[in-house]
Amino acid sequence: MSPSGHAIWHDDPVLFDSTTIDLDAFTAATGWEIKPEGACKGGICVPLGTDRDPLSVAERLGMAVVTDDATGNVAIGPASFSGHALDSAEAPDVVLHDLDGNEVALSQFHGEKVVIVSWAPY
């Protein structure tokens, strides 16, 4: 077994050949980089607190973690914060109407932060 927790393949889920996984191997295999502000991938950062152990980080990100004690292998599934896999923080392009009835495409605001306020009378 590799002391760095070598990733056997780079895909979802990720399989490591050791329960001792270094942060570089975790980042290379999952795409989540551990920074002072938390675990970050793309435009998403998840606060971690003080525990920076890769298996704890995986659990904090909602990744399924399964360990096979007989072989020492660890399988880590994709991140899921609410039971649904989150690939990115990028919204799909939608076209809405402003208060004057003009069409406004969400893609017009690419690269900017956008707040969408909606209301339903029911």
Cα three-residue angle 7-78-31, rounded to 5 degrees? 55
Which pTM value belongs to this model? 0.52
Q: Determine the Cα–Cα distance for residues 10 and 113; give it in Å rounded to an integer.
A: 31
Mean pLDDT for back-to-back runs of 10 residues, the chain (122 residues): 40 68 83 88 84 83 83 78 55 83 89 78 77
